[in-house]
Chain A
């Protein structure tokens, strides 16, 4: 074995931003619900990409690769923020939600993101933002479907409790 690493050139990174920047920023705003934090998270994500993002060039699904990078940056922000349940209003670029996503459920889940563990955040995002099935989530996160189902049920309970308090 030997080491192999090559950062992206600024030109390559600019091409990525031009093609995917809207989608990445939209995702950051969806998760963080705050334009300034989202801009910052996206900048941080591209710092990672510039430093060690050459793998994206060979990826068959580069946007998915980039989504995972920005997700981690957003999770970091949420962990540091430890924001209380009351978070700013959604600042998503446009209000276009995935057809399989229940927007109301999604919005409640996003408000609770800052109170979740990283695994819970991952599952919540994949379910309520990406519209993935439990099987797909299990494969993505690396846990069993039973675990995913348990986490989702627990999240739904918390969401209902929150909605009950908020109404």
Chain B
């Protein structure tokens, strides 16, 4: 497949054309569509098919089925429910701590587009670890999501979530451990089936300096990391502050 970057006549990728067919705005891709017979035909066909689909499918019924499925799934862990209740307290305390600290210094879409970054030379080039665990950190900044497979930097307003893919059933936990020992939970200790899981919780950063380590792994190993800062057996990536724009 030939490269597209420097040729304005090349077709935009499918997700941009599909988005136009769905009714989203994309001036760059739209300009191409207007001048390209093949893309005009592609978008037109998808629009017509999508309209038929909408007429034949009940969105609320679909979502109701998805909700029912969620309700039928086994509870991740009773600990997870406790974590939801505990987290705001931990969060408020951390925020207070971070706000009084002196300032100092150091992707995507998925939607938007998403940019995926491998870690720097000191970090893993591929986020695949022993035991078939794949970890990706999704950083959302001003509506743009970037995916990271290694250490990353954040600034005020950023949000972080964790996506873990595992080939085996097993327990996992994830969170951010600050250098001061505070813990911000992203994924409560939970028994997870093989597959891809997104952290239900996200970390949002204010303008206080950040010096933390993202920790992902078996709950016992995560706990060891939290208590003794021993990072053997867990994914441990540095998360630090980035200078503003």
Binding site for B on A (CB under 8 A): 1-5, 10, 13-15, 17-23, 25-26, 43-44, 46-48, 50-52, 55-56, 58-69, 72-73, 75-76, 79-80, 93-94, 96-101, 118-119, 126-127, 129-136, 139-143, 152
Contact = CB atoms under 8 A, between A and B. Distances in A.
A88 to B, nearest CB: 21
Q: Interface SS of chain B: helix, strand, loop or mixed? A: mixed
B159 interface: yes
Interface stretch (B21-29, B216-224, B228-236): B21-29
B213 interface: no
B75 interface: no
B184 A3 contact: yes
A53 to B, nearest CB: 9
Contacts of A22: 22, 46, 49-50, 53-54, 57
B54 A18 contact: yes
Given A18-B59, A25-B53, A63-B19, 16 more contacts: A14-B62, A46-B66, A47-B73, A51-B198, A52-B198, A52-B199, A59-B110, A94-B45, A97-B42, A98-B14, A98-B17, A99-B41, A100-B11, A140-B113, A142-B117, A143-B118
A74 to B, nearest CB: 10
Interface string B136-161: 00101001110111000010000101
A72 B10 CA distance: 28
A141 to B, nearest CB: 6
B22 A72 contact: no
Contacts of B194: 76, 79-80
Nearest to A20: B22
| Chain A to chain B: the 8 pairs with minimum beta-carbon distance, closest first | A65-B111, A142-B116, A59-B111, A68-B110, A22-B53, A99-B38, A2-B91, A4-B204
A31 to B, nearest CB: 13
B34 interface: no
Given A3-B87, A17-B63, A100-B11, A134 B113 contact: no
Nearest to B38: A99
Given A1-B205, A17-B62, A65-B110, A23 B38 contact: no
B32 to A, nearest CB: 10
B88 interface: yes
Contacts of A130: 13-15
Interface residues of B, number: 95
Nearest to A132: B13
B116 A139 contact: yes
B70 to A, nearest CB: 5
B14 A43 contact: no
A43 B115 CA distance: 26
Interface of B: 1-5, 10-11, 13-19, 21-24, 36, 38-39, 41-42, 45-46, 49-50, 53-54, 57, 59-60, 62-67, 69-70, 73, 87-88, 91-92, 94-95, 98, 108-118, 125-126, 134, 138, 140, 143-145, 147-149, 154, 159, 161, 163, 165, 167, 176, 184-186, 194-196, 198-206, 208, 210, 212
Contacts of A97: 42
A21 B53 contact: yes
B145 A55 contact: yes
Contact of B111 (A17, A62, A129): A62
B45 A64 contact: no
A132 B114 CA distance: 14
Contacts of A133: 1-5, 10
Contacts of B147: 142
B98 A59 contact: no
Given A96-B45, A140-B114, A134 B91 contact: no
Nearest to B140: A55
B161 A14 contact: no
Given A14-B60, A72-B165, A142 B11 contact: no
